[in-house]
Structures are given as structure tokens and as C-alpha cells.
Amino acid sequence: MKNRTLIIFFYFFCFAYLVRSKLVTGKISVDFLISKGEGKGSKGISNFSIKNNQINITHNGTEFMGVVYLTHLNFGGYDLYDVVSVSKDGNDFLVVYLYCHTGTSQISMLYYESYDFEQCVTENATGFLDAQHFSKGVTKEIDFSMPVLKTDPTPIQTNILIEGKEISYQNANTFHCKLHGGLYKVSVFSTVDCKDCPNFSSGWYELHSILSNGKDRCFGIFYLNLNDHKSVYLEYLFCNPSLTRPKMSSYVANWSGSLEQISQH
């Protein structure tokens, strides 16, 4: 091989290495195990495969790796499985909810969101998952790996204001909060308006966000209950690269505004 060819190959491999984010490996404690699963969506998600809660997903040509970390059983007639995943280059985060009709192992719908699009997407799906739910109080540690998440999303505008001792949201670029003592910058990348969701007594808003403290980026959902303008709850946390799941946090804070007129990025 000529030297020049070697140099070209060298740069090619360096480039291929650089565009992949480092993988982090850890353990997570879960109260269910999905030994096996696979499927595909009807539009954006071309395929996914699951083994012992570790999941690989391809969305619009981009490969994501992550974990099925939570379930919501019998949620409006469905069993939901929550997935957090990071693209192999570390620059995009994809949250997916796998929907099975309650008590079945057939996946019929996917609901997902990422840094790339502001609104959640729903699509029909086919596939299955073999899930085993442990008895109350029983958990199991599973090993998994995922790429390091390297970037924050561009925060969206929401028209919501929050003010409390440990949380302040006056505009998209200055949202911050305390979480178990540490200070985090918050970027909202997607919202859910459950003002009129069927079969739930009173409505709520959700701010799906990334909390960042310079070392760790944590996905979490802020809940604003429409019948309580004096509290805010932060739930379903999952942090990368620490691969920890901080406990939920509640804030005494006044909040106002509505999600009705969302503007673009």
C-alpha cells in the first residue's frame, strides 16, 4: 500500500472513532426483566431489539443504545415500558414508551421524543416483549451499557413560569433547580399537555427535560398539576454517564402559565 493510502485510512479510522461516543457500563436495579423482545414502528422507528432490558433502536437511520428502566402497568388500558437511549455519537437522546395492551406481550404502539423534534410522536408498531414482573419489593440488578450523552438539547419555549426557593423558570435559558443538594441547569425539550387526557380526574402538564450539572446529564419529567399551583414534582430521573436513578423530588413553588401556545425552537 502506498503511504498516501495508509494516511487516508489512518484519518478514516480516527474519524470513525471520534464520531462514536464512549460507552459507559453500569448496573441498574429494576422490578421487571425483559429477557427478549423486538419489533418495529410504522414510520420513524425502523427496528428495535431488547435483551435483558438493554435495547438497541434505529430511528431514521440513527442507532441508539439504552435501557428499559421503568414500567407503568395498566395505564389507560396499556402496560407501558419506558426506554431511555443515546445515539452512538452521543449527541441525541431518545425516550420511547413501548405500549402493550394490558397483560399481553404484543407491542402495538410507540410514543417517543428526542432532541430533534419538539412534539412527541406516536406510531403504530408490531413486536413483542417477554417481560417478567417480580413480586412487590423484589428487584434485580442488570448490567447494561450506553453511549455517554455529550450535549444538552436546545431548550424550547413553553410559556410556563415557576418560582420557588429551589427552582426557578423565568425563561428557556435560565431554568435551573436543585436536585438532592446539587444545582442543575434545565433544558426542556418536549412537553405533554394532559389538560384533557381521558380517564384521569384532573389534568396536568409535563415538561420533559435534561438537567445538567457539568458532570452528569439527567432526564426527568416535571409535573404541574392543574389543581395545584403551589407544587412541582420531578420524577422518573435517569442520569448519564453516572447511570444513576435519583429519587423523585418535590418543590414548593408557585407556577403559572399554560402550554397552549408553544412557539418554535
Ligand X SMILES: *[C@@H]1O[C@H](CO)[C@@H](O)[C@H](O)[C@H]1NC(C)=O
- In the complex, the residues that contact ligand X under the rule CB under 6 A are 42, 44, 47-51, 54, 56-58, 60-61, 65, 76-77, 116, 123-124, 163-164, 198-199, 252-254
Burial class of 73 by CB neighbour count within 10 A (0 to 12, 13 to 18, 19+) = middle
CB of 77 to ligand X, least distance (A): 4
Q: For residue 143, how many other CB atoms are within 10 A of its CB?
A: 11
In the bound state with ligand X, the residue whose beta carbon lies nearer, of 60 and 244, is 60
- The grid coordinates listed for 179 are 436536585
Nearer to ligand X, 10 or 60 (CB): 60
Cβ burial 170-197 (10 Å sphere, 16+ → b, else e):
eebeebbbebeeeebbbbbbbbbebeee
Strand partners, 32: 133
Closer of 135 and 227 to ligand X (Cβ) = 227
CB nearer to ligand X: pick between 175 and 216: 175
CA–CA gap between residue 40 and residue 107 (Å, rounded)? 9
Nearest to 39 by CA among 118, 115, 112, 124: 124
CB of 160 to ligand X, least distance (A): 15
CB of 13 to ligand X, least distance (A): 17
The CB-of-4 to ligand X minimum distance in angstroms stands at: 31
For the CB of residue 130, give the shortest distance to ligand X in the complex, in Å: 13
Position closest to ligand X via CB: 56
Amino acid identity at 135 = S
Between 49 and 213, whose beta carbon lies closer to ligand X? 49
**Residue closer to ligand X, measured from CB, 123 or 152:** 123
Q: How far is the CB of 5 from ligand X (least distance, A)?
A: 28
Closest CA relative to residue 231, chosen from 206, 205, 252 = 252
Cell numbers found for residue 150: 455529550
Which residue, 152, 186, 153, is CA-closest to 167? 186
Query: Could you identify the residue written with the cell 402493550?
Result: 100
Q: Which is nearer to ligand X, 61 or 214 (CB)?
A: 61
CB of 198 to ligand X, least distance (A): 6
Name the strand (E) or helix (H) holding 4: helix 3-18
